[in-house]
């Protein structure tokens, strides 16, 4: 009896998904977003892992492609390093099918990873091949996030090849902003890239308050590029990487909240930026001191 009911429910689900598919015109056409920066170490891979996880938590089908051949890390941040059987190079060299190479996330079945090969260099995959992989994945997924290697050489050109949107990750430091400017110049020259936005990572509100760090507004103005996200410096990023679990899964973390807000903005929601202002008044300092004394956070 119960089995029958279950079957019925399953059938209903199927018809529902079918009608949804029909509404969408039967074929899904996902958005391909490349996460890039120019400078290394500003948080491209962290951004990729967190935005991808947040989008998947929002119910979207997401696949992440690590294009940093020879220096892969996205698998570590997602805690999937032990599950990788095939890599993007295996797909390109036809040792396996594309679907076989997709590694499912531990927690979220909506999330997949196409890992980079650790033993090969940037020449193992061409621009055309990556474009082709993106085109195939577009049919199955809502979002394809491409993790770009540092630099402006072939690795960058490959990663950008299949994308139509870009997120440029930078920090409020001179060298990162200068490199971001170079990347923006190269993105502008690419016709395929329809839009690009800036994500300012590792922001320290206390240093901005004392005029010892460029503010997000300064960075946005200098690069004349709109902002899609402001991520505060957070020690939790390191501990979450240690555990192999993106920080967006921690609802209490400020950086995690900031990342999930970025995902909501990508989905078209108008989300205000987190208030990161530090209370520098004496009253605020006293408050902080006392709340610290009694172990109350915030």
Partner 1 sequence: MKDIFTDLYNKVLGFFRQTEKVQEEENTKDVACNRLKFVLMQDRTNLSPELMDRMRKELVELLSKYVEMDKEALELGFEQEGSQMALMLSIPVVRAKEEAEIEAILAKEDEEKLAKSSEDDAVSESEDEIADKSDEVDEESSDDEVVSDDNLDVELSSEDDVIEVSDSVIVDTEEDLSSASKVVENKVKEKVKAAK
Give residues in contact with partner 1 (CB under 8 A): 174, 177-178, 181-182, 184-186, 188-189, 208, 210-215, 218, 222, 224
Residue closer to partner 1 by CB (options 56, 180) is 180
Entry field: residues in the chain: 298
CB-nearer residue toward partner 1: 120 or 190: 190
**CB of 187 or CB of 255, closer to partner 1:** 187
Pairing label, strands 102-104, 111-114: antiparallel
Dihedral sign, Cα of residue 252, residue 255, residue 259, residue 264: positive
Under DSSP, is residue 46 helix (H, G, I), strand (E, B) or coil?
helix
Instruction: Give min distance, CB of 217 to partner 1, in A.
Output: 11
Residue 219 CB, nearest approach to partner 1 (Å): 9
CB of 170 to partner 1, least distance (A): 11
Q: Which helix (H) or strand (E) holds 134?
A: helix 127-138
Nearer to partner 1, 78 or 148 (CB): 148
Nearer to partner 1, 133 or 208 (CB): 208
**Shortest distance, position 42 Cβ to partner 1, whole Å:** 15
**Cβ-based nearer residue to partner 1, 113 or 177:** 177
The nearest distance, CB 166 to partner 1, in angstroms, is 15
Structure token pair of residue 291:
């709340």
User: Whole-angstrom Cα distance, residue 180 to residue 182?
Assistant: 5
Q: Quickly count: other Cβ atoms within 10 Å of residue 34's Cβ.
A: 28
As a whole number of angstroms, the distance between CA 273 and CA 25 comes to 35
32: helix, coil or strand? strand
Smallest separation, CB 210 to partner 1 (Å): 8
Other Cβ atoms within 10 Å of 20 Cβ, number: 9
CB 155 to partner 1: min, Å: 16
Cα dihedral 262/263/268/270 (nearest 10): -40
For partner 1, which is the closer residue by CB, 71 or 193?
A: 193
CA-based end-to-end distance of the chain:
54
């Amino acid at each position: 009896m119960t089995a029958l009911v279950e079957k019925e429910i399953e059938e209903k689900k199927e018809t529902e998904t079918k009608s949804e598919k029909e509404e969408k015109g039967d074929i899904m056409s996902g958005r391909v977003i490349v996460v890039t920066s120019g400078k290394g170490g500003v948080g491209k891979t962290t951004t990729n892992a967190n935005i991808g996880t947040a989008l998947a938590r929002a119910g979207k089908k997401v696949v992440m492609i690590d294009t940093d051949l020879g220096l892969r890390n996205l698998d570590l941040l997602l805690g999937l390093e032990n599950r990788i059987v095939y890599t993007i190079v295996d797909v390109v060299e036809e040792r396996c099918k594309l679907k076989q190479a997709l590694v499912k996330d531990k927690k979220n079945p909506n999330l997949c990873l196409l890992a980079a090969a650790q033993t090969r260099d940037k020449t193992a995959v061409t621009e055309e091949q990556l474009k082709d992989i993106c085109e195939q994945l577009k049919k199955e997924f809502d979002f394809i996030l491409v993790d770009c290697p540092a630099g402006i050489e072939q690795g960058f050109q490959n990663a950008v090849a299949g994308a139509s949107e870009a997120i440029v990750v930078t920090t409020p430091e001179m060298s990162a902003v200068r490199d971001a400017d170079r990347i923006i110049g190269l993105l502008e020259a690419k016709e395929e890239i329809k839009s690009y936005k800036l994500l300012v990572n590792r922001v320290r509100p206390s240093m901005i308050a004392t005029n010892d760090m460029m503010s997000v507004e300064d960075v946005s103005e200098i690069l004349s590029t709109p902002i899609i996200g402001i991520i505060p410096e957070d020690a939790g990023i390191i501990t979450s990487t240690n555990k192999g679990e993106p920080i967006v899964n921690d609802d209490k973390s400020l950086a995690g909240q900031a990342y999930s807000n970025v995902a909501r903005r990508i989905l078209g929601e108008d989300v205000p930026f987190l208030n990161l202002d530090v209370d520098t008044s004496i009253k605020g300092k006293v408050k902080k001191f006392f709340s610290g004394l009694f172990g109350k956070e915030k």
